[in-house]
Amino acid sequence: MTLLSTEVFNELCTILGAAYVNRDDNFLASHDWVGIGGSSATKTLLGNPPGAIVLPSSTEEVAAVVKTCVKHGIKFKAHSTGYGNLAGVGTAGSVCIDLRRMNRLQIDAANQMAILEPYVTAGQLLAEARKVGLFCHVIGAGPVHSPLASATSFCGVGLPGNFTSNNARNLLSLEWVTPMGEIVRIGSAGSGEDWFTGEGPGPGFRGILRGVLGSLGGLGVFTKIGYKLHPWSGPQKMELTGRNPLLGMRLPPNFKFHQVAWDSWEAMSAATFEFNAANIVTVMTRVPPDCIGLMLTQTNREYYDSFKSGQLPPVARSDAGYGWSMLLTAYSDEEIKYKEEVFDAIVHRTGGREVPTTQEEQELLALTLTTSIHVGRSGRRGMGGGTSMGVLDSFALLPKVAKLTEELMEDPLAKGWMINAHPDQNWMWPSEGRHFWTENAPNCDRTDLEATAGNMEYTLASFNKADQRGGDVGISAFLIGDAADLYGPGLGHVNDWMRKTKNAFDPQNLSDSKAYIQPEMTTVAKVWPLAKKFLFRPAFKSVLHNAMKRLVT
Amino acid sequence: MSLQDRREHMERCTRCSQCKWVPIPASKQFSSICPSIEYGSFHAYSGGGKNITAYAMLENKASYSGDLVRSVYACTMCGACDTMCKFLQGENVDLLSNLYELRARIASDGQAPKVYDDLRKQLREEGTFLGKRHERSRWAQGLSIKDITQRPADVFLHVGCNNAYDASRWRELTFIVSLLDKAGIDFGIAFDAEVNSGGVAFDLGFQEDARQLAEQTLALFRASKARTIVTCSADSYATFRNIYPRLGLSIEADILHVTQFVSSLVKEGRLKIDARSSETLTYHDACRLGRLSEPFEPWNGSRIKVLEQLSVQDPPQRVRFGVGGHYEVPRDLLAQIRGAEIVEMERNREYSYCCGAGGAASKAYPEFAQMAAASRLDEAVAAGATTLVTASSTCTSHLATVAEQRNMPLKVKGLFELLADLTGEMSS
Ligand SMILES: Cc1cc2nc3c(=O)[nH]c(=O)nc-3n(C[C@H](O)[C@H](O)[C@H](O)COP(=O)(O)OP(=O)(O)OC[C@H]3O[C@@H](n4cnc5c(N)ncnc54)[C@H](O)[C@@H]3O)c2cc1C
Ligand code: SF4
Ligand code: SF4
């Protein structure tokens, strides 16, 4: 039963037309579903439905909806494609602003940018950008996610980041409906000129509104952005190979795929500096071998049978070594020849080796590196799991971070809480040829309470380790919800600045995200400085585990 | 099977929305794969949204309303969402099976759209929802065709309802008959004894009606003793291969679609295509000849956990990824037309976009069916085609009507209609 009053419902209908406002039970349920492990992983229907779903078609309509909510003191939350575990509203009865009807896209090829609305998907943008020799960044969520949501509100690192950067930096200009319902345009968009740059005079709004993570719906609604595109030497139309689901991309002569491995994280790290300096690799990404195995098989059963019988190809075996999937691209024969020569020299000099791959494997992995299309397929193994600190720092940290997280996984692996394939579930890639991103992200069956709690524990332990080590393993990017107060103090007291921003722009706390910082510190956050001294000690393991169990049920 | 039996699969939906899109779009305009979400916009209209509705019903968190029924039935049961869900999730969700059970529940609760009451009544009384029983074989008047209910034949030529009742399709049927005669095939039809094969009833959730029609159809097949059934109907082809096994029924004879049969006759040299055209042709993969005709194999097993946390089917289950449909043979036939240029639409084969004709959705929501057709026709025009060809008469009739309504610069032809136009006849 909806919690929204008929008065407000009718007002929303007047703004948008009755066809675009709905509070039917089953429509609300479809915005109350979490299918990927996270804070409430073991449930799917959360019992936290919105009071209504609205489908505005313009920024002005969004602003009018927000003003109505402000007038009645009702919470609201923006929703783009809704992929992921933070898409639902924070509070039952809030208005879900589903931006599906706002999907306009304009490409400014000469200036290598797109101006797009929230419901343009990465797949659509890629298709249109390629037609004019450009490419866009695609995060791991793949072609179905919203680049606007990612660029404004939720992290934004991704597999092709070596050449497409990350979304904190791809975000140029911005149109924003503030939590009070004002329409603000930022950077050159605000000057009424072209949507060219995100920063005008004065403090940078991109930092205030998003930082490395984004405000996850906690700071109003972003309705349009200028978004950076990147030059693409590949074909204007991607020629697909293979059949559902084992799709690949035809590699043109000026594209070369390599799977390279070294014998240790140290050797891989050293070689990576050389590759970054040489600037010859377009995409370099490390997909954990188990995940490559899942991408190369059609079903979980097929994966398991191949795993058990030792039939997985070399690229998907845990003894594949420590290395990268790499895509070299060029505009001419001479350029690719030069890149290949430099590539061979670096691999040789650094003691690397090529892991054998078939043409089909190369095509499938090349499509993954550029579009992330198969990333979600590797997630099919459990839909629950944990993650480690996301490190946005120097490649020198690679060996230390990988080993540290693998140590943290020993205990949960022994307890059977993670898919017991290998403790190396390390996803890695550079952003713009320098920043190092990694997550050691194990999976579990999201319906298994003990395991889901165990994975949350691993995530927290990993954040804690980063906190204790005072930055020598990079930063914890995922300061989601309470985590901002738990770990913000160790990161320049960023939580204080987030809170000031939240309270300044949203004085009534109506922009309804439980995933962004709350106006007041919660009790958990207040007791944390003391609690963390004990919780991670062996004697308190069961206390932490039980607390995590409560969190996920 | 019941809705409750599908619970574990439903719970595996990640709400990723892949069921709304082709995997790697070639353009923004033709990136959608689901007509239902295009029509209704709210997530509840998508395959994944319907899955959540089903789950919410099990949890008593959804009550019947006009919106609920519309979000479930403004849908052609085209299976594209299932193909795309399997792309990402493999065996986890098996979405189409969930959708079939959702509709079965709604129908058994008496909540299916009221227009389907008439359709059901007509199916029961006339064996079809398109006309009267005694009108079924009007198309064959004046032709000399063996009545397979009276005299045995090697091949049972199964006609299908849309072919039989839509007079605009009769030319195709008579052409097919002429081809089989030319190739010297011993075949017969069941005239007015043929009934709807049951697919539409199953799609609408009336599983018992579907079973009865299926049993009548199977009885005809069995009585004929024909070793080969050749169906002219894409809808029935999908029903035989995908629906009958779900009802626990099987066909003892070989089942072929007429395009397959004719193509094999051409390959064997018993028929020759002598056609020429200067048109630019594009082929529309009908859902029911494509992904929905991939055979369903009944499976009796459970999920077990391996590698501590990995849930797998035990014993292994054959998963329908949509690639086992019937895609290349109709294209091979078209490719034999000399002088014609053949172009592909962006969404093709297992990623084909439904034209809106399927599952009798047009009866309850005609504007939905028209919207889907308009998108498909625009895609054909964008591909540069001057003629859209399809091998499903349901699609042909619907697309041709909408193309005419929209006054489009595009002809819509059934594959055999086109061959009949170009050859007048095929030489043997
Ligand atoms: C398999 C998988 C892989 C992933 N890989 C990556 C990865 O590699 N890198 C990465 O950064 N993330 C990754 N993610 C998370 C991902 O960032 C989000 O799923 C995605 O960015 C959000 O896009 P969306 O359209 O789904 O947004 P939604 O789910 O709709 O929204 C995400 C959040 O942003 C807010 N929001 C959305 N739109 C707006 C708006 N217009 N205005 C204000 N707030 C808004 C929402 O309120 C919500 O809190 C992954 C997720 C999955 C499931
Ligand atoms: S039904 Fe499948 S494709 Fe659709 S949202 Fe759910 S998991 Fe994703
Ligand atoms: S069956 Fe077709 S129309 Fe219905 S939800 Fe699935 S993709 Fe959409």
Cβ–Cβ contact B304 with A under 8 A: no
Are A320 and A463 in a shared domain? no
The Cα–Cα gap between A492 and A155 comes to 19
**Pocket flag, ligand 2, residue B89 (CB < 6 Å):** yes
The pLDDT assigned to A207 comes to: 85
In a domain, B135, yes or no: yes
Cβ–Cβ contact B319 with A under 8 A: yes
The pLDDT assigned to A392 comes to: 87
Label residue B424 by pLDDT band (50, 70, 90).
Answer: low
In a domain, B118, yes or no: no
Where would I find the beta strands (DSSP E) of B190-321? 228-231, 254-257, 280-284, 302-306, 310-314
Are A313 and A362 in a shared domain? yes
B213 CB contacts (<8 Å, ≥6 apart)?
B123, B127, B195, B196, B197, B198, B201
Cβ–Cβ contact B55 with A under 8 A: yes
Instruction: Please give the share of chain B, as a percent, with pLDDT higher than 70.
Output: 99
In a domain, A28, yes or no: yes
Whether B368 shows a pLDDT value over 80: the answer reads yes
Q: Where are the alpha helices (DSSP H) in B227-357?
A: 234-238, 258-267, 328-335
Are B160 and B203 in a shared domain? yes
Are B332 and B406 in a shared domain? yes
Mark yes or no for CB contact B87/A244 under 8 Å.
Answer: yes
**Pocket flag, ligand 1, residue A382 (CB < 6 Å):** no
B312 and B375 in contact (C-beta within 8 Å)? no
Residues of A in contact with B65 (CB under 8 A): 24-26
The pLDDT assigned to B37 comes to: 98
Domain with residue A311: its CATH number is 3.30.70.3450
CA distance A141 to chain B (A): 9
Map tokens 């090697």 to a residue: B154
Residues of A in contact with B82 (CB under 8 A): none
Are B26 and B73 in a shared domain? yes
What is the whole-number distance in angstroms between the Cα of residue A374 and the centre of ligand 2?
15
DSSP A187: G
The Cα–Cα gap between B193 and B148 comes to 10
| Both tokens assigned to B325 | 């449909």
Residue owning the nearest CA to atom 11 of ligand 1: A156
Out of A231, A260, A277, a domain closes at A231
Could you tell which of A53, A69, A76, A154 is best to mutate to test the pocket of ligand 1, judged by most ligand atoms within 8 Å of the CB? A154
Interface test with B, best of A299, A309, A458 (most B CBs within 10 A): A299
AA letter at A104? R
In a domain, B162, yes or no: yes
Domain with residue B410: its CATH number is 3.40.50.11810
Whether B378 shows a pLDDT value over 60: the answer reads yes
Out of B86, B112, B138, a domain closes at B112
Are B146 and B106 in a shared domain? no
Are B376 and B358 in a shared domain? yes
Are A277 and A345 in a shared domain? yes
In a domain, A505, yes or no: no
**Ligand of minimum distance to the alpha carbon of A220:** 1
Residue of B nearest to A128 (CA): B27
State the CB neighbour count (10 A cutoff) for residue B69: 17
**Pocket flag, ligand 2, residue B17 (CB < 6 Å):** yes
Cβ–Cβ contact B42 with A under 8 A: yes
Mark yes or no for CB contact B307/A420 under 8 Å.
Answer: yes
In a domain, B306, yes or no: no
State the CB neighbour count (10 A cutoff) for residue B287: 31
Residue owning the nearest CA to atom 5 of ligand 3: B47
Q: Which of A45, A238, A383 sits opposite B24 (nearest CB)?
A: A238
Chain-wide mean pLDDT for chain B? 97
Q: Where are the alpha helices (DSSP H) in A469-493?
A: 483-487
The Cα–Cα gap between A173 and A196 comes to 6
* C-alpha B204, offset from chain centre: 13
Q: Which of B24, B41, B52 sits opposite A143 (nearest CB)?
A: B24
AA letter at A159? L
Mark yes or no for CB contact B21/A121 under 8 Å.
Answer: yes
Q: What are phi and psi of A504, to 5 degrees?
A: -70, -45
In a domain, B141, yes or no: yes
| Maximum CA extent, chain B | 69
Domain with residue B52: its CATH number is 1.10.1060
The Cα–Cα gap between A417 and A402 comes to 19
Name which of A366, A201, A204, A224 is nearest A281 in CA terms: A366
Are B188 and B254 in a shared domain? yes
In a domain, B296, yes or no: no
Q: Is B173 left (phi over 0), alpha (psi -120 to 50) or beta?
A: alpha
Are B352 and B420 in a shared domain? yes
Where would I find the beta strands (DSSP E) of A413-537? 426-431, 435-440, 443-445
Are B423 and B329 in a shared domain? yes
Are B395 and B350 in a shared domain? yes
In a domain, A493, yes or no: no
Domain with residue A118: its CATH number is 3.30.465.10
Are A305 and A193 in a shared domain? no
Name which of A470, A395, A384, A472 is nearest A428 in CA terms: A395
A549 and A39 in contact (C-beta within 8 Å)? no
Map tokens 């020598």 to a residue: A472
Are A307 and A182 in a shared domain? no
Are A200 and A226 in a shared domain? yes
CA distance B167 to chain A (A): 37
Cis peptide bond prior to A507, omega within 30° of 0: no
Are B400 and B340 in a shared domain? yes
Greater pLDDT, B389 or A390: B389
CA dihedral angle for residue B71, residue B76, residue B79, residue B82, rounded to 10 degrees: 0
Are A315 and A330 in a shared domain? yes
Cβ–Cβ contact A309 with B under 8 A: no
In a domain, A495, yes or no: no
> Domain limits at B142?
124-267
C-alpha distances out from residue A335 to A281, A295, A332, Å: 12, 31, 5
Name which of B414, B396, B399 is nearest B369 in CA terms: B399
CA distance B14 to chain A (A): 4
Residue owning the nearest CA to atom 41 of ligand 1: A222
Out of B87, B112, B137, a domain closes at B112
Out of A379, A401, A419, a domain closes at A379
In a domain, B299, yes or no: no
A126 CB contacts (<8 Å, ≥6 apart)?
A135, A136, A138, A143, A371, B24, B25
Domain with residue A10: its CATH number is 3.30.43.10
What is the whole-number distance in angstroms between the Cα of residue B23 and the centre of ligand 2?
13
Cβ–Cβ contact A418 with B under 8 A: yes
Are A48 and A69 in a shared domain? yes
> Domain limits at A53?
6-98
**Pocket flag, ligand 3, residue B57 (CB < 6 Å):** no
Whether B46 shows a pLDDT value over 70: the answer reads yes
In a domain, A484, yes or no: no
The Cα–Cα gap between A519 and B120 comes to 58
State the CB neighbour count (10 A cutoff) for residue B356: 29
In a domain, A534, yes or no: yes
Are A271 and A198 in a shared domain? no
The pLDDT assigned to A211 comes to: 87
Interface test with A, best of B310, B349, B368 (most A CBs within 10 A): B310
B15 and A83 in contact (C-beta within 8 Å)? yes
pLDDT tens track, chain A, 553 positions: 568 999 999 999 999 999 999 999 999 999 999 887 655 556 788 889 999 999 999 999 999 999 999 999 999 999 999 987 788 999 999 999 999 999 999 999 999 999 999 999 999 999 999 999 999 999 999 999 999 999 999 999 999 999 999 999 999 999 999 999 999 998 888 888 788 887 777 778 888 899 889 999 999 999 999 999 999 999 999 999 999 999 999 999 999 999 999 999 999 999 999 999 999 999 999 999 999 999 999 999 999 999 999 999 999 998 888 999 999 999 999 999 999 999 999 999 999 999 999 999 999 999 999 999 999 999 999 888 999 988 889 999 999 999 999 999 999 999 999 998 889 999 999 999 888 999 999 999 988 999 999 999 999 999 999 998 887 888 888 899 999 999 999 999 999 999 999 999 999 999 998 899 999 999 999 999 999 999 999 999 999 999 999 988 8
Label residue B427 by pLDDT band (50, 70, 90).
Answer: very low
Name which of B276, B277, B283 is nearest B383 in CA terms: B283
Cis peptide bond prior to A489, omega within 30° of 0: no
In a domain, A511, yes or no: no
Domain count, chain B: 3
Domain with residue B219: its CATH number is 3.40.50
Q: Is B83 helix (H, G, I), strand (E, B) or coil?
A: helix
DSSP string spanning A362-414? HHHHHHHHHH-TTHHHHGGGTEEE-------B-GGGHHHHHHHHHHHHHHHHH
CA distance B7 to chain A (A): 11
Are B277 and B420 in a shared domain? yes
**Pocket flag, ligand 1, residue A156 (CB < 6 Å):** yes
Domain count, chain A: 4
Cβ–Cβ contact B311 with A under 8 A: yes
**Pocket flag, ligand 3, residue B18 (CB < 6 Å):** no
A304 and B311 in contact (C-beta within 8 Å)? no
**Pocket flag, ligand 3, residue B81 (CB < 6 Å):** yes
AA letter at A95? V
Instruction: Please give the share of chain B, as a percent, with pLDDT higher than 90.
Output: 98
Whether B265 shows a pLDDT value over 90: the answer reads yes
Are A161 and A257 in a shared domain? no
Interface test with A, best of B11, B13, B14 (most A CBs within 10 A): B14
Out of B56, B85, B112, a domain closes at B112
Q: Which long-range contacts (CB under 8 A, 24 or more apart) does B56-62 make?
A: B56/A25, B56/A26, B56/A29, B56/A45, B57/A26, B57/B3, B57/B102, B57/B105, B58/B3, B58/B4, B58/B7, B58/B10, B59/A45, B61/A25, B61/A26, B61/A29, B61/A45, B62/A25, B62/A26, B62/A29
Could you tell which of B16, B82, B86 is best to mutate to test the pocket of ligand 2, judged by most ligand atoms within 8 Å of the CB? B16
The Cα–Cα gap between A366 and A344 comes to 19
Are B411 and B286 in a shared domain? yes
Are A271 and A202 in a shared domain? no
Are A261 and A187 in a shared domain? no
Out of A98, A119, A147, a domain closes at A98
Chain B neighbours among A 46-105 (CB < 8 Å)?
53, 55, 81-83, 87, 98, 100-101, 105
The Cα–Cα gap between A64 and A11 comes to 10
